[in-house]
Amino acid sequence: MKKQQGATLAIALILLFVITILAVGSVQVSHMEERMSANIQDKEISLRAAESALNAGEDWLIAQTKKPVIYSNNCPASPCVRQMFDSTSLYSQPASWWNSNSAAYTSELKNVTAAPRYVIEYLQFVPDSPVVGSATFGTGVHYYRITARGVGANSESVTYLQTTVARRF
């Protein structure tokens, strides 16, 4: 019997080890990219939900034929117009606050964990003419802020959108 040298075996084992390390790293990168893609898709779902609620709020406000009543709290019907909140506080409110203080988007949306919701706030009235006795005194533009909250397929994926609407009544 001839004595085996083993150099080929050692090199083959080292190459096999390197290839295994590269394959494991490749699988981890692929898995991370898959998770990133799912998170981006979930964020897109929450964005579409918030846009739907924002559009519903705009449509409701535009459909009003006379100036809506402004409530300080406890709206008797939904949707309703509220006095202006501290807008930064809307983003920090939990889902339970949104469920009891906002209007829900009533059309069905797929892949959302909760119906998107919106709040309409009255900002101010800007008269056409500040001169008392002028022909345009008392006429002007009413400004409203609509804030919408959309949730994606994961309840952690939340998007807030806000717009300002000007209306004459």
pLDDT tens sequence across 141-154? 999 999 999 999 98
Three-state SS for 37-78 is HHHHHHHHHHHHHHHHHHHHHHHHHHHCCCCCCEECCCCCCC
The pairing of strands 81-83 and 117-127 is parallel
* Residue 51 in tokens: 């846009």
* Residue 85 in tokens: 């909140």
Would you state the pLDDT for residue 150?
Answer: 96
The Cα 119–Cα 54 span in angstroms is 9
Would you state the pLDDT for residue 44?
Answer: 94
Q: What angle do CA 150, 154, 156 make, to 5 degrees?
A: 75
Farthest CA pair distance, the chain:
120
Would you state the pLDDT for residue 148?
Answer: 95
Please list the rounded mean pLDDT of every run of 10 residues in the chain (169 residues).
Answer: 72 91 89 87 94 96 90 78 76 87 89 93 85 69 94 92 93
Query: Bridge-partner residues for 73, per DSSP?
Result: none
The Cα 59–Cα 67 span in angstroms is 14
What are the Cα distances from residue 73, in Å, to 67, 84, 100, 119, 138?
18, 11, 11, 12, 26
Would you state the pLDDT for residue 137?
Answer: 63
Would you state the pLDDT for residue 49?
Answer: 95
